[in-house]
Amino acid sequence: WKTVPHDMRCYQDESVTALSNVGHGAIELPTGSGKSLIIMNLLKKYPVKTLIITPFSNITNQLRVDLERVFGTKMVGQLGDGRKKTDKLFTVANAQSATRIENNSKEWDNLHDVEMIIFDESHMVPAASFQNICLEGVAKNAKLRFFLSATQTRTDGSELLLKGITGPVVYSKTYKELSSEGFLKTVKARIFSVPPCKPSVNDPKKETRANLY
């Protein structure tokens, strides 16, 4: 625990305090503001069995590596992307894998009694996954519930449901605010005109990637 970085920026420290004061709530901080450090300090503050949910495998892998560096491999496990280490104090899982945990499975036995659940980049997790994990599935009995994201706003019609799951937004800072305070660099936008590539009727995703490149 001594290796957990404690020299948080003021807004990171305020985020941990705000979440701790409610026990069930959400914060909004932009990309690059150090939400992983907030997660580490929540784990340090509450060293209980915890499930940390991420939307994608690449985030799961990176967060697991970061937590292992701080807490050690004996404390950190991972579910998803070919890994099934769920018998640790802290388990990082992608949302898709967490929703597939079946009752009476080894993963269920290891995780059904988690005391804390943390969602990283929660605005990217599908509403159905939220409902499955938090209300019906493996973390339904967790008492501490924290949700970290750039925004807790949804446009898919599930706003009311998700507000009931995430609880209130207890702390928020925008990119503009953190940039003006000197914590994040100012973004400079440049617009380029390029000719469109040949349309792909069969694979719109491939067409989008080609246009972006």
Angle at 169 between CA 8 and CA 19, to 5 degrees: 45
Residue written as token pair 């503050």: 45
* Range scoring the smallest mean pLDDT among 22-36, 37-51, 97-111, 123-137: 123-137
* Range scoring the smallest mean pLDDT among 100-109, 145-154, 203-212: 203-212
The predicted structure's pLDDT at residue 4: 66
The predicted structure's pLDDT at residue 200: 67
CA neighbor of 88 nearest in space, from 120, 49, 145: 49
Contacts of 38 (CB under 8 A, 6+ apart): 8, 12, 15, 16, 27, 29, 148
Six-digit token pair at 109? 């036995």
Confidence (pTM): 0.83
pLDDT top residue among 209 and 173 = 173
The predicted structure's pLDDT at residue 162: 67
